[in-house]
Amino acid sequence: MSMIQEFREFAVKGNAMDLAVGVIIGGAFGKIVESIVGDLIMPVVGKVVGNLDFSNLLVVLGNNPNNLTTFADLKKAGIAVFAYGNFLTILVNFVILAFIIFMMVKQLNRLRTPVAPAPEPEAPPTPEDVLLLREIRDSLKK
């Protein structure tokens, strides 16, 4: 079998296609969750905590001659920063995404029909000689 035929066979197998679809949908779903966290949840959390912008929670580690203050400007200038606010945002993003995936898997497992156990095979019929011997035994017990 040529390499091209092997590759084609691999690429059109159900598992490879399922994986490709899963990765594409997962990437898109990740962007949705990222937007929910960055645009909806973290601003509310920042407001509750006291008008705090998590994206600018950082410690400048490098030389900052222009006194840049925002994370984006510091990154653009190539100045080393310890961006713990950005980490907190990504951590919240991960926790929400992990919880949603957990709930999806839980629902899928619940919806799956349990596989019924295989029916027990019927016992083969008792041979004629054994039946006759049992009859003799039972008549002798009387």
- Tens of pLDDT, residue by residue over 45-69, are 888 878 777 777 889 888 888 888 8
pLDDT at 45: 82
pLDDT in tens, 15-27: 777 778 888 888 8
Q: What span, in angstroms and rounded, lies between the C-alpha atoms of 60 and 62?
A: 6
The whole model's pTM is what? 0.55
Mean pLDDT of 108-126: 80
Evaluate whether residue 44 is within a structural domain: yes
Evaluate whether residue 123 is within a structural domain: no
Q: What is the number of domains present in the chain?
A: 1
Q: What is the mean pLDDT of the chain?
A: 84
pLDDT at 5: 85
Evaluate whether residue 121 is within a structural domain: no
Phi-psi region of 63 (alpha: psi -120 to 50; beta: other; left: phi over 0): beta
pLDDT at 1: 65
In the DSSP assignment, the letter for residue 36 is I
Residue 15 lies in domain:
3-116
Q: Is the pLDDT of residue 82 over 80?
A: yes
pLDDT at 14: 65
Q: What are phi and psi of 88, to 5 degrees?
A: -60, -40
Evaluate whether residue 97 is within a structural domain: yes
Q: Is the pLDDT of residue 12 over 80?
A: no
Evaluate whether residue 125 is within a structural domain: no
pLDDT at 7: 80
Residues near 86 by beta carbon (within 8 Å), at least 6 away in sequence:
54, 55, 57, 58, 71
Evaluate whether residue 124 is within a structural domain: no
CATH number at residue 36: 1.10.1200.120
Evaluate whether residue 22 is within a structural domain: yes
Evaluate whether residue 131 is within a structural domain: no
pLDDT at 90: 84
| Lowest model confidence (mean pLDDT) among 5-9, 16-20, 133-137 | 16-20
Supply 58's token pair: 């950082």
Q: Is the pLDDT of residue 114 over 80?
A: no
